[in-house]
Amino acid sequence: MLDPGAFLGQIFVVVLLAIVVIFVLVILFRSIRIIPQASAGVVERLGKYHKTLAPGLNILVPFIDRVRPLIDMREQVVSFPPQPVITEDNLVVSIDTVVFFQVTDARAATYEIANYLGAVEQLTTTTLRNVVGGLNLEEALTSRDNINGQLRVVLDESTGKWGIRVGRVELKAIDPPISIQDSMEKQMRAERDRRAQILTAEGTKQAAILQAEGSRQASILEAEGYAQAAVLRAKGDGEAIATVFGAIHAGDPTADLLAYQYLQTLPKLAEGDSNKMWIIPSELTEALKGISAGFLGTAAGRGPTPPTP
């Protein structure tokens, strides 16, 4: 038979071994700490700061070292609620801000400030009121870059001892009072109407200038056309007269033929409603006398008088 004492001894040994194994596992578990990337852990040894754990595998002293909550080392973006700010001209505006900051020293962010996020918010509000308080409404609306730069410089300088670096500060919105917004909208509408009227007047002016220039060019071209036509007409008339004159001289016309041509030309002088008076050259009467003498001599049966040798 199995001895009860030996059986109890074996059970005791098994339990003891189990306790030892569990203790060893707990020690190993508490001795090894894995820190994820972009995070940092502050280690306290017996309640005092000992070191800052880097990302990766870290070895601790069990039951002596304690790791505080991990700190995010990435750049963080925090949007603060709208803050009422009084400008230099005593107008209350509501301003939304966004702060971009990053923890650079986990030890300082843990021990130098109790709540660095709340501290950044309060410091941003105070600095914003100081900066905007020295500007009027128009300057505040048109100087966002200047305000952002001043806020970033002041916040970065003040939060440096907390292990925080402020990279950028942005104003999301600056909302003036409702009455001021209505006045600004009316002013903008009037400005747009004024610009539209100026553009319309300028367009009308340009159109009138172009139209006048076109009329002037048309008049010049028309006058040049008339001048060229008159020159060509005069040239043609001159060539026609020269041709007729040459043909007449080449044909050696007699006085009777010239008188007959005068008679052919008389009806053309009466053409036109405005012809009231004719001017008959003296040569025409002499030609008519010659024609009448010729006709009368022919009617009496006499031929023309032969020339005297």
- pLDDT tens digit sequence for 48-79: 999 999 999 998 888 898 999 999 999 999 98
Number of structural domains (the chain) is 2
More confident residue, 96 or 300: 96
The answer on 39 and 123 residing in a single domain is no
- Whether the per-residue pLDDT at 163 is higher than 80: the answer is yes
- Whether the per-residue pLDDT at 281 is higher than 80: the answer is no
Structural domain includes residue 227: no
Dihedral in degrees, nearest 10, Cα atoms 95, 101, 106, 109: -20
The answer on 126 and 57 residing in a single domain is no
Structural domain includes residue 147: yes
Predicted pLDDT at 83 = 86
176: closest CA among 80, 81, 86? Answer: 86
Other CB atoms within 10 Å distance of the CB of residue 164: 24
The answer on 37 and 79 residing in a single domain is no
Computed over every residue of the chain, the mean pLDDT equals 80
Kindly report, residue by residue over 21-52, the tens digit of the pLDDT: 888 888 888 888 899 999 999 999 988 999 99
- Whether the per-residue pLDDT at 140 is higher than 80: the answer is yes
Q: Which two tokens stand for residue 28?
A: 């190993």
Predicted pLDDT at 241 = 73
Q: Which two tokens stand for residue 221?
A: 């071209």
The answer on 120 and 78 residing in a single domain is yes
Q: Angle 144-159/116-133 helices, nearest 10 degrees?
A: 140
The answer on 149 and 130 residing in a single domain is yes
Which of 71, 87, 112 is at the close of a domain?
A: 71
Q: What percent of the chain has pLDDT over 90?
A: 17
Predicted pLDDT at 139 = 84
Which residues sit opposite 99 in a β-bridge? 78, 169
Structural domain includes residue 120: yes
pLDDT band for position 303 (50/70/90)? very low
Mean pLDDT for the stretch of residues 90-96:
87
Structural domain includes residue 19: yes
pLDDT band for position 308 (50/70/90)? very low
pLDDT band for position 304 (50/70/90)? very low
Predicted pLDDT at 249 = 67
The answer on 54 and 29 residing in a single domain is yes
Mean pLDDT for the stretch of residues 10-18:
82
Three-state DSSP class for 74? coil
The answer on 21 and 48 residing in a single domain is yes
Q: With 0-12 CB in 10 A as exposed, 13-18 as middle and 19+ as buried, what is 56?
A: exposed
- Domain assignment of residue 131, given as a range: 74-176
Which of 71, 91, 116 is at the close of a domain?
A: 71
Which amino acid makes up residue 13?
V
Predicted pLDDT at 269 = 59
Predicted pLDDT at 70 = 92
Which stretch of 97-101, 154-158, 278-282, 304-308 has the lowest confidence by average pLDDT? 304-308
Structural domain includes residue 161: yes
The answer on 36 and 20 residing in a single domain is yes
Q: What percent of the chain has pLDDT over 70?
A: 76
Structural domain includes residue 257: no
Q: DSSP letter at 1?
A: -
Structural domain includes residue 112: yes
Structural domain includes residue 267: no
Kindly report, residue by residue over 170-214, the tens digit of the pLDDT: 888 888 877 776 776 777 778 888 888 898 888 888 888 988 888
- Whether the per-residue pLDDT at 307 is higher than 60: the answer is no
Three-state DSSP class for 177? coil
